Homo-oligomer: A and B are copies of this chain.
Amino acid sequence: NLDISMLVSSGRRVLSVTRARLLSTVAVASMEDGSLRAHVSRRGREAPALLPRYLSDARGVETFDAVSRPDGVLQLSVAENQMISDWLVPRIRSIAASPASDAHGGGAGLFEQADIFYQQTHGTPQCRAAVAAHMERVLCGGSYPIDPDKLVVGAGCNAVLENLLFALADAGEGVLVPRPYYAAFEFDLRARAALEVLPVAIRRGGFEASGYYPTADALEAAYASALSRGIAPRVLLLSSPNNPLGFCYPEEVLAECWDWAESKENLHVISDEIYAGSVYRTPADGQPPWTSLATVAARRGRQLGPSAHLVWALSKDFALSGLRVGALYTENEAIRTPLQKLNDLCQVGSPTQAIVSRLLTDQLDAATPRKLWCAAMEEANAARLRSRYDRLTAVLDQGGLRYLDAGAGLFLWIDLRPFLSYGDSGPPQRENSGSWAGAVGVEEALLPAREAEAERALYLRLIHEFGLLLTPGASMRSEEPGLFRCVFSAATEEGFEVALQRFARLAAAPRAT
């Protein structure tokens, strides 16, 4: 018997996300209730189980509110950016209130006469043009042309990604994804598209970014493993800037992955670049420069071609997850029409498209003082992200806690392995310890039971003893237990200050080992 309202204190947003996830548990219970015997499809029954389960562990948790619940838990596991609403809300309000520009005139409001009727299923020409221009600038600094006619705008990055996968792979075929990865890929790829997620074991060497770079060898091992299990890998799904690791893949890493994929027959590459506009540290800070797969193509003087595709969205760089606007870019003519038609099932409403068109095209309008609004917002956002990164890492440094050097996105990947407790028997022995090649494949995607239990215990301890709700690595298919993702943008400034104090207290706590 869940008391969902108890879980939620810091506003509707947290309610919405958390509630939807927690309700999974209710449904599973209901399905076992004999009073509801109406047929439910297998895929319907299984869908909720594809969601990360760690949030249901947080049920009953009271979340932080500076006024009403200062001792509440800080929700740092939802990938949202709460730091730029002062830029976005007034801007969007002003757009919504500005007069329509169509010939009919007569009345304020952004809504045009033609907006009420069916639009092109892959997005209005205005919206696609605006998104294309923006992607061209942010993804690849103008070095690679993004043609609006090769774009499909749909109801979120998950929606366009799912559609792209429908067109590239049939049910039961596989998608290679380097570990660790965005937990919801499991849902997005499997729930309706019925694809097999093929987690690629990557880790080698010490705890540093380069130890997480996918290599041709690692991909080859996962590819061969899938084939040996009768699964045809069709897609390699890359995420850069990486979620959850918080860094950009260097150009040579992208190039190695792409070259490897091209060496295979019928293997596509999808580059998920949803955090491309959230890069806050640069080569001057020792970070690899942000490089889109489109930039790799441009430097090679080639096209992305029919088997390399990009996805992006407004949810992260603009913190507009509520608008549900994603875009996919493909030069594959054979799938463009299927994609346009499939997108009929996840279109963006015309008012939202109108807002996005105006939000993104202002940057092109040389005649107004708002000319560089998007770029100015990005600069401010980067400065704020960097400030939080610096403050959080300073606390961790001081307390001797390790984390992955990061520079893009909203995340810090924190090493809390010293806090893992295995009781008297000590940590479990791993076969192939230190060798990534032995841990390839779906079967090994989950941690060994004792490791998973130790991580979950730590996850719960972080919540209940330290008031920190982080994303546990196991939910993101981390290869080792005890690594946690912290979304350092997912708190108000007051909340973040409290988070820093709590991290300091954690750092001061005794290690298990």
Chain A interface residues (CB < 8 Å from chain B): 11-13, 15-17, 19-20, 23-24, 26-27, 30-31, 33, 36-45, 47-48, 51, 78, 80, 82, 85, 88-90, 92-97, 100, 104, 106-122, 155-156, 158-159, 162, 166-171, 173, 187-188, 191-194, 234, 265-268, 305-307, 319-325, 332-342, 344-352, 355
Query: Are A349 and B346 within 8 A (Cβ)?
Result: no
Q: A259: shortest Cβ distance to chain B, in Å? A: 16
Query: Are B333 and A30 within 8 A (Cβ)?
Result: yes
- Which residues of B sit under 8 angstroms from A24, Cβ to Cβ? 337, 341
29 contacts between A and B (CB under 8 A): A13-B117, A16-B119, A20-B340, A23-B336, A24-B337, A30-B336, A36-B306, A38-B306, A39-B265, A41-B166, A45-B334, A51-B341, A92-B109, A94-B108, A96-B97, A116-B320, A155-B346, A155-B347, A155-B348, A155-B349, A159-B345, A162-B345, A323-B349, A323-B350, A324-B348, A346-B346, A348-B349, A349-B352, A351-B355
Query: Of residues A20, A156, A158, A306, which shows the largest number of chain B Cβ atoms within 10 Å of its Cβ?
Result: A20
Query: Are A85 and B107 within 8 A (Cβ)?
Result: no
Q: Which 4 A-B pairs give the minimum distances between C-beta atoms? A: A93-B109, A27-B337, A44-B167, A349-B352
Query: Are B320 and A41 within 8 A (Cβ)?
Result: no
Kindly state the separation between the CA atoms of A104 and B335 in the bound complex, as whole angstroms: 45
Query: Are A96 and B80 within 8 A (Cβ)?
Result: no
One of B41, B78, B156, B355 near A167 (C-beta < 8 A): B41
Kindly state the separation between the CA atoms of A156 and B27 in the bound complex, as whole angstroms: 25
Kindly state the separation between the CA atoms of A119 and B78 in the bound complex, as whole angstroms: 12
Query: Are A171 and B155 within 8 A (Cβ)?
Result: no
Q: Which residue of B lies closest to A41 (CB)?
A: B170
Query: Are B43 and A170 within 8 A (Cβ)?
Result: yes
Q: Which residue of B lies closest to A120 (CB)?
A: B16
With A12-B114, A117-B13 as known contacts, state yes or no: A347 contacts B36, CB within 8 Å.
Answer: no
Query: Are B110 and A345 within 8 A (Cβ)?
Result: no
Query: Are A44 and B168 within 8 A (Cβ)?
Result: yes
Query: Are B109 and A96 within 8 A (Cβ)?
Result: yes
Query: Are A192 and B166 within 8 A (Cβ)?
Result: yes
Query: Are A96 and B116 within 8 A (Cβ)?
Result: no
Binding site secondary structure of chain A:
helix
Kindly state the separation between the CA atoms of A47 and B335 in the bound complex, as whole angstroms: 10
Query: Are A159 and B111 within 8 A (Cβ)?
Result: no
Q: A40: shortest Cβ distance to chain B, in Å? A: 5
Query: Are A158 and B344 within 8 A (Cβ)?
Result: yes
Q: A503: shortest Cβ distance to chain B, in Å? A: 24
- Which residues of B sit under 8 angstroms from A348, Cβ to Cβ? 155, 324, 349
Query: Are A116 and B85 within 8 A (Cβ)?
Result: yes
Query: Are A111 and B85 within 8 A (Cβ)?
Result: no
One of B94, B119, B268 near A322 (C-beta < 8 A): B119
Q: A442: shortest Cβ distance to chain B, in Å? A: 20
Query: Are B118 and A16 within 8 A (Cβ)?
Result: yes
- Which residues of B sit under 8 angstroms from A110, Cβ to Cβ? 93, 96
Q: A154: shortest Cβ distance to chain B, in Å? A: 9
Query: Are B266 and A38 within 8 A (Cβ)?
Result: yes
Query: Of residues A51, A82, A335, which shows the largest number of chain B Cβ atoms within 10 Å of its Cβ?
Result: A335
Q: Which residue of B lies closest to A26 (CB)?
A: B337
* A-B contact sample (9 more), CB < 8 A, given A324-B350, A349-B352: A39-B266, A43-B166, A45-B334, A94-B109, A95-B109, A96-B351, A97-B108, A116-B323, A192-B345
Kindly state the separation between the CA atoms of A459 and B17 in the bound complex, as whole angstroms: 51
With A97-B109, A334-B27 as known contacts, state yes or no: A121 contacts B13, CB within 8 Å.
Answer: no
With A44-B335, A113-B85, A351-B355 as known contacts, state yes or no: A340 contacts B23, CB within 8 Å.
Answer: yes
- Which residues of B sit under 8 angstroms from A108, Cβ to Cβ? 93-94, 96-97
- Which residues of B sit under 8 angstroms from A80, Cβ to Cβ? 117-118
Query: Are B324 and A347 within 8 A (Cβ)?
Result: yes
